[in-house]
Amino acid sequence: MVSISPRLRDSLDYEDPEETDPRFSIGFRSVSLASTEYEYLELQGDHRTWSGSPDPAASRRRRRQRTSDRLLLEHAVPFQYRTIADGDVFRVVTMLPGERSKPIQCRLSWENSRKPRYDYRCLSYCWETTERDSAILVDGYRFPVTQNLHNALLSLRNVKSELRIWIDQICINQEDHEERSYQVSIMKHIFTNAKEVIVWLGEADDKSAKLCEYARKMPRGEHVVRDSPKNALKRILGQRQLQDALQKLLARKWFTRVWVIPEVALARFNTVAIGNELISWDNMVRLIRDTPMPEATGFDKQSAILGNPRQRIAILSQMVASQRENLYHTDITQLLILAKSSEATDLRDKVYAFDGITLLRTQIDYRDLPDYIRSVERVYLNIAHHYIDSITSEDYYSRWHGLTEVRRTQQLMSILYSAGKLHQHLDLPSWVPDWTFAWYQAPLWCKADSNMAAFSGRDGWSAGIRSGYRAGGEKLETFEFVDGAAGRRRLRVSALLVDTVLQVGALAGETGACMRLLTQGQISQASTPDAIDLPTFSYGRDHFITEHGLHGLATTGIAPGDRIAVFLGGDVPFVLRPNRDQDGDDQIFVLLCECFISSKGIMGGEHTQNNWTLAEDIILK
């Protein structure tokens, strides 16, 4: 049973933590590691001395490690958290020195997130699984950990010196929702005040050591003479070998997790670890940026969808630049791209993970803690509502970032392009993004390019990925909330209803008709810069024909009778489904998805420019 915190207050800002919080006093731990109670856990049967390493044989090391792990799992007393970590305090792991074949021994101590007393580091890694099938000793007790964390600790442990490091799996009681809420609320301070964040990408593979060597020796700057270094680099890895090794690196699970985003973005300094190899974060980013990847044929997830590995690295790099310039990062387009492309054990973390790196709150009130009891649907609805309110109603958001009206409009529209009933698993209003529904199509409303060049603290990155379409022009009109049935919020927007879907898929004459129009040049390439890449943009989409005889592409699931609408300020049209309410209001629609129409006038914005006075307010439910 976890006891209540012994402190009287949750904040230590105005008091000496060593005098007010008994957790900072000497001896506030479960047991001393000086105890001889676990002497029987020492390895038996092989006490030979080896030169340079305790055991040079890899197979023997693994066997001895398995033996020590088994003894830990079978005999040591299980660890129990006895005090809740709340307010501004958090736990820090001190990993004791040891040889690779010995059990990992740690002790826990308390630290103040706002005024840390001693230096510490943070570990950024991927759980990979919730199964904790390995074990370490924490304060003399058996503590189960995942295999990937165990591998990381083995690689990071020093044979002579201690390592103070924050590790979420150990320092947070993951079974206590209240403690998790407190710890998420101070995560910004934990990572900002850390001396260094160590990014553990996993165990070494057949090319990772050479890849790290290549990254360390790459020339820096545009004015470096590259001929000689380039020849030296080729001796490390040839071009094809380099591309293969980099693709393997980017396929590692670490690049898909949501919590690694704030961990890297908030750090003073990042070091990347792969097995026993270490490189700086900047070296890894330069390697990814300067290595051209082979052209893919057909639909390629590594380059076609939003949140692909290279794009994630680019967004993370801009967030790092924001941190270095003491700026909060609040580019909603980037938050949407990262959240929907990330994985999280708790689905609420897809928005809570951004709590410490943005001016935007993830709670209704700034005094509230992240709520792990509230339903996922309610959390997503609240955050979408707050994102929209922040742009349309709260001046501080625009003033802080110097957003123009065009940029404000672009960020609002990115919320709607991330939503739609055909892109939702959860029961949400159609205008709310479902962060559990990952990107799986090439977007029409923006580009999936990495945009590696825009590494500034300000929100310049998103402008570089905007699509070439301007269907709704640049001017935003109505964009506001209205109350709906059963207290559910609806969104009122200004739109031009330009056409109606007549036939879909195989019923639309020949399904390749639209594609032939594109390839034969009957649709201007200037007005359709992205749709020329046919295999990429047709993946996951159906062809359709409208009542006016136009061809188009839209997500599978549209049906005859659905309306094609252009929202004022939007880049590409939407598909809407009429949804008349009990009062007979025929201006209520369900947002389905974005779409492409084979009309230069519509996609280029001429139709909106000539008919904007005919726009009407519609309601999305």
Share of the chain above pLDDT 70, in %: 74
DSSP state of 466: B
C-beta separation of 267 from 199 below 8 A: no
pLDDT at residue 483 is higher than 90: no
**How far apart are alpha carbons 7 and 321 in whole angstroms?**
37
pLDDT at residue 533 is higher than 60: no
Strand spans (E) along 160-307: 163-166, 196-202, 270-274, 277-280
Cα–Cα distances in Å, from 50 out to 44, 344, 471, 567? 16, 44, 72, 73
Q: Where do the domains of the chain lie?
A: 17-43+54-194, 206-293, 479-620
Contacts of 55 (CB under 8 A, 6+ apart): 61, 64, 99, 100, 101
Which one of 373-377, 397-401, 534-538 scores highest in mean pLDDT? 373-377
pLDDT of residue 496: 95
pLDDT at residue 49 is higher than 70: no
DSSP for 37-55? Answer: TTGGGS--S-----SSSS-
**How far apart are alpha carbons 113 and 194 in whole angstroms?**
9
pLDDT of residue 450: 84
pLDDT of residue 15: 54
What does the pLDDT look like over 181-214, one tens digit per residue?
899 889 889 999 999 999 999 998 888 889 998 8
**How far apart are alpha carbons 620 and 430 in whole angstroms?**
7
Strand pairing of 541-546 and 489-504? Answer: antiparallel
Tell me the mean pLDDT in the region 477-492. Answer: 85
**Which of the two residues, 60 and 417, has the higher pLDDT score?**
417
pLDDT at residue 155 is higher than 70: yes
Contacts of 313 (CB under 8 A, 6+ apart): 255, 285, 288, 450, 452
Is residue 377 classed as helix, strand or coil in its secondary structure? helix
Of 33-37, 504-508, 546-550, the least confident: 33-37
pLDDT of residue 319: 83
Under the banding of pLDDT at 50, 70 and 90, the label for residue 418 is very high
**How far apart are alpha carbons 121 and 167 in whole angstroms?**
9
Which structure tokens are listed for 96?
A: 């004791």
Cα–Cα distances in Å, from 145 out to 174, 531, 613? 12, 48, 63
pLDDT at residue 12 is higher than 60: no
Bridge partners (DSSP) listed for residue 593: 575
Is residue 576 classed as helix, strand or coil in its secondary structure? strand
**How far apart are alpha carbons 472 and 612 in whole angstroms?**
9
Which run of H or E residues covers position 105? strand 105-112
For residue 582, give the amino acid letter.
Q
User: pTM of the prediction?
Assistant: 0.81
Bridge partners (DSSP) listed for residue 501: 546
pLDDT at residue 434 is higher than 70: yes
What does the pLDDT look like over 573-582, one tens digit per residue?
999 999 866 5
What does the pLDDT look like over 66-116, one tens digit per residue?
666 666 656 778 999 999 998 899 999 999 998 877 889 999 999 999 999
Under the banding of pLDDT at 50, 70 and 90, the label for residue 452 is confident
pLDDT at residue 388 is higher than 80: yes
**How far apart are alpha carbons 22 and 5 in whole angstroms?**
10
pLDDT at residue 46 is higher than 60: no
pLDDT at residue 519 is higher than 50: no
Nearest 5°: phi and psi at 554? -155, 160
Which structure tokens are listed for 141?
A: 């007790």
Tell me the mean pLDDT in the region 471-495. Answer: 87
Residue (of 574, 580, 578) closest to 592 by Cα position: 574
Tell me the mean pLDDT in the region 539-552. Answer: 92
pLDDT of residue 108: 95
pLDDT of residue 235: 79
DSSP state of 143: E
**How far apart are alpha carbons 516 and 127 in whole angstroms?**
47
C-beta separation of 503 from 560 below 8 A: yes
Helices (H) and strands (E) in the chain, counts: 22, 17
Which one of 362-366, 390-394, 428-432 scores highest in mean pLDDT? 428-432
Is residue 357 classed as helix, strand or coil in its secondary structure? coil
> How high does pLDDT run on average in the chain?
80
pLDDT of residue 117: 92
Cα–Cα distances in Å, from 256 out to 337, 543, 558? 12, 32, 30
**How far apart are alpha carbons 578 and 419 in whole angstroms?**
17
Bridge partners (DSSP) listed for residue 576: 563, 591
Q: What count of residues does the chain have?
A: 621
Q: Please state whether 74 falls in left (phi above 0), alpha (psi between -120 and 50) or beta.
A: alpha
**How far apart are alpha carbons 80 and 173 in whole angstroms?**
9
pLDDT at residue 34 is higher than 70: no
pLDDT at residue 517 is higher than 50: no
pLDDT of residue 524: 38
Strand spans (E) along 320-427: none
Bridge partners (DSSP) listed for residue 545: 503, 551
Q: Among all chains, which residue has been given the structure tokens 């071009």?
A: 239
**How far apart are alpha carbons 157 and 150 in whole angstroms?**
11
pLDDT at residue 493 is higher than 60: yes
Burial class (CB in 10 A: 0-12, 13-18, 19+), 176: middle
Which structure tokens are listed for 445?
A: 């409303």
Which structure tokens are listed for 471?
A: 């269907």
What does the pLDDT look like over 247-268, one tens digit per residue?
899 999 999 999 999 899 888 8
Contacts of 175 (CB under 8 A, 6+ apart): none
Burial class (CB in 10 A: 0-12, 13-18, 19+), 463: middle
Where helices occur in 531-584 by DSSP H, the ranges are 534-538
A 10 A CB-CB count for 514 gives 24
